[in-house]
Amino acid sequence: MAKTSPAQFVRQVRQEISRISWAGRRETGLATLTVFIMATIAAIFFLLVDLLFSNVIQFVLGMFS
């Protein structure tokens, strides 16, 4: 593998950075909103599953005590 000089490396990095298509303000806001909504849905789902398991376990333990 050929070695590159530090100056050439910096030029290559700048060239790659110029190729990146950065997200706009609207896209970033929509992505953030989507993450918050999905996290809320996941939290509610796991809360309901936890409550269900808790009630089932309490019922089973109550039958045998």
Instruction: Check pLDDT > 80 for residue 13.
Output: yes
Digit-coded pLDDT (tens) for 21-63? 989 999 999 999 999 999 999 999 999 999 999 999 999 999 9
Going 15 to 20 to 25 to 28, the CA torsion angle's sign is: negative
Give residue 3's pLDDT band: very low, low, confident or very high (50, 70, 90).
confident
Instruction: Check pLDDT > 90 for residue 2.
Output: no
Q: How far apart are the first and last CA of the chain?
A: 72
Instruction: Check pLDDT > 90 for residue 64.
Output: no
Q: For position 50, what pLDDT does the model report?
A: 98
Element (H, E) at 10: helix 6-19
Contact 41, 49 (CB under 8 A): no
Which 8-state DSSP code applies to residue 12?
A: H
